[in-house]
């Protein structure tokens, strides 16, 4: 990945492949979504510095293969399935996976034989599920779940629960994942956590969650999470943040 110089008026972004930038700021039209993404970037400066070294084309190809196989298989792909999917020998696949893990783009299981997570998906139950075509997959957090539809250019159904009371929450997208069709309950909100430590899967994803109402978000913050750094977002604002982060991941490079 390469940090690309932008005009001073433009917010920071990373060029993940030629002509493809993350976040895609055109997706973040609301002030709340833009503020959340800017604050997220500021809290991950060390990770952004790691991403400043360009990801080579072969590792980028493997990254996209892993994300595609998650959706195609409906589960985390094994290293053998990745090797078969991309047509590489196992040693080459394993070396590229280590590089992707170092950049916190995915994580391997303890045995190193399968993908544990590749944002936005994980092999573990998280309480956030996304119905993508015929498959139902686990998303790492609320923002990741909301980014899936635009990433795969397909409408999805997201199910989760209020972190405080357990009330079922359901989000349905339209326009190939770019807009919300419905949110139930209508009072639902998202807490976008920024306390990044080690990797997102083990830190910010644990507390980037849904609540059935502002009252329950506030009660949660008054209780166990008073010191958490993050932003409260409406579902539509959280969807914009998810789109900005995840829609670029499978985008083809721009040709000169």
Per the domain annotation, does 110 fall within a domain? no
Number of domains composing the chain: 1
Q: Give the pLDDT confidence of 162-177 residue by residue, as tens digits.
A: 999 999 999 999 999 9
pTM here? Answer: 0.92
Nearest to 234 by CA among 174, 199, 161, 185: 185
Q: Give the pLDDT confidence of 190-218 residue by residue, as tens digits.
A: 999 998 988 999 999 999 999 999 999 99
Give residue 3's pLDDT: 40
Q: Give the pLDDT confidence of 119-138 residue by residue, as tens digits.
A: 999 999 999 999 999 999 99
Per the domain annotation, does 109 fall within a domain? no
Per the domain annotation, does 17 fall within a domain? no
Give residue 51's pLDDT: 66
Residue 192 belongs to domain spanning: 122-248
Per the domain annotation, does 44 fall within a domain? no
CB burial of 116-134 (b: ≥16 within 10 Å; e: otherwise) equals bbbbbbbbeebbbbbebee
Per the domain annotation, does 10 fall within a domain? no
Question: Are 139 and 128 in contact, with CB atoms under 8 Å apart?
Answer: yes
Query: Which CATH number does the domain housing residue 160 bear?
Result: 3.30.450.410
Per the domain annotation, does 162 fall within a domain? yes
């Amino acid at each position: 990945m390469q940090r690309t110089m932008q005009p001073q008026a433009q917010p920071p972004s990373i060029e993940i492949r030629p002509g493809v930038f993350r976040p895609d700021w055109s997706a973040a039209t609301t002030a709340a979504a833009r503020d959340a993404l800017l604050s997220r970037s500021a809290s991950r400066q060390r990770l952004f510095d790691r991403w400043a070294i360009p990801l080579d084309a072969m590792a980028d190809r493997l990254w996209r293969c892993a994300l595609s196989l998650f959706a195609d298989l409906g589960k985390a792909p094994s290293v053998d399935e990745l090797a078969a999917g991309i047509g590489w020998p196992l040693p080459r696949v394993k070396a590229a996976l280590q590089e992707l893990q170092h950049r916190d783009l995915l994580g391997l299981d303890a045995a190193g034989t399968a993908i544990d997570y590749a944002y936005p998906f994980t092999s573990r139950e998280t309480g956030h599920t996304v119905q993508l075509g015929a498959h139902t997959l686990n998303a790492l957090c609320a923002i990741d779940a909301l980014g899936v539809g635009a990433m795969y250019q397909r409408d999805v159904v997201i199910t989760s629960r209020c972190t405080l009371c357990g009330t079922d929450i359901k989000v349905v997208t339209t326009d190939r994942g770019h807009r919300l069709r419905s949110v139930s309950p209508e009072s639902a909100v998202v807490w976008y956590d920024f306390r990044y430590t080690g990797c997102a899967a083990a830190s910010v994803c644990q507390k980037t969650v849904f609540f059935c109402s502002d009252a329950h978000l506030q009660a949660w913050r008054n209780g166990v999470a008073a010191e958490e750094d993050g932003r409260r977002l409406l579902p539509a604002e959280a969807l914009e943040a998810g789109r900005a982060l995840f829609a670029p991941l499978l985008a083809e490079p721009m040709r000169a």
